[in-house]
Amino acid sequence: MITYTTSLEGISPDKLKGFFVGWQNPPWPETHMKLLENSSHVVLAIDDEKDRVAGFVTAMCDHVLSASIPFLEVLPEYRGHGVGEELVRRILDEIGDLYMVDFVCHPNMQPFYTRLGMRPSTGMMRRNVQHQKGPGSQGERDGTQL
Ligand SMILES: CC(C)(COP(=O)(O)OP(=O)(O)OC[C@H]1O[C@@H](n2cnc3c(N)ncnc32)[C@H](O)[C@@H]1OP(=O)(O)O)[C@@H](O)C(=O)NCCC(=O)NCCS
């Protein structure tokens, strides 16, 4: 059964395996954990039986006018069952009524977000694939160091 939480209590990197599918330099689960800790809002979908995180969404918010949603991912084996939609609904609830809430997404994802009350926009972005793994983890894994 999938349950949802905004708490990181009891969450450790070993419960965060398998995310960042298709990324050239996917962050380690430890880096993923830091990313969750540093986000202003987080919603996790938990597979209670397997005791692992099945999906997550994060938000960065200034608590005045604006928020953005940088990450949304559901592990492939859990997709197509409404988990992604529920994560977005819940993070929007967490963020509350702000003037701006921005997502960047591929055009083929626009119907998904339109169903959730968002509308298409245009934007600009920068991506540095050398830093995709996160700070301090450019090389091979060396134990606990990030
Ligand atoms: C996008 C994502 C979070 C959706 O999670 P999910 O649990 O499968 O979502 P739901 O079951 O709630 O909704 C499924 C809907 O997502 C949409 N969708 C999912 N992946 C899609 C894709 N690659 N292209 C277009 N639409 C997609 C479909 O509209 C689908 O609608 P349907 O149920 O009518 O077929 C998941 O596919 C994922 O993690 N993808 C990889 C990461 C990603 O793309 N994140 C979003 C960045 S903007």
pLDDT tens-digit profile of 35-85? 999 999 999 999 999 999 999 999 999 999 999 999 999 999 999 999 999
What are the structural domains, with CATH classification, of the chain? 2-124 (3.40.630.30)
pLDDT of 40 reads 98
Task: Find the 11 Cα to ligand 1 centroid distance in Å.
Answer: 24
Ligand 1 and 69: CB distance under 6 A: no
* Nearest ligand 1 atom to alpha carbon 73: 39
Return the exposure string of 35-69: e unless at least 16 CB atoms fall within 10 Å of the residue's CB, then b: bbeebebbbbbbbeeeebbbbbbbbbbeeeeebbb
C-alpha–C-alpha distance, residues 47 and 132, integer Å: 27
Selected residue with higher pLDDT from 83 and 135: 83
The residues, ordered by sequence, that sit 6+ positions from 31 with a Cβ below 8 Å of its Cβ are 133, 134, 137, 146
- What is the pTM assigned to this prediction? 0.92
pLDDT of 135 reads 85
Taking 80 as the threshold, does the pLDDT of residue 137 lie above it? no
C-alpha–C-alpha distance, residues 107 and 5, integer Å: 29
Task: Find the 58 Cα to ligand 1 centroid distance in Å.
Answer: 16
Ligand 1 and 113: CB distance under 6 A: no
Q: Give the residue-averaged pLDDT of 23-34.
A: 96
Ligand 1 and 116: CB distance under 6 A: no
Whole-number mean pLDDT of the chain? 93
Selected residue with higher pLDDT from 38 and 137: 38
Q: Which two tokens stand for residue 63?
A: 């608590």
Task: Find the 81 Cα to ligand 1 centroid distance in Å.
Answer: 10
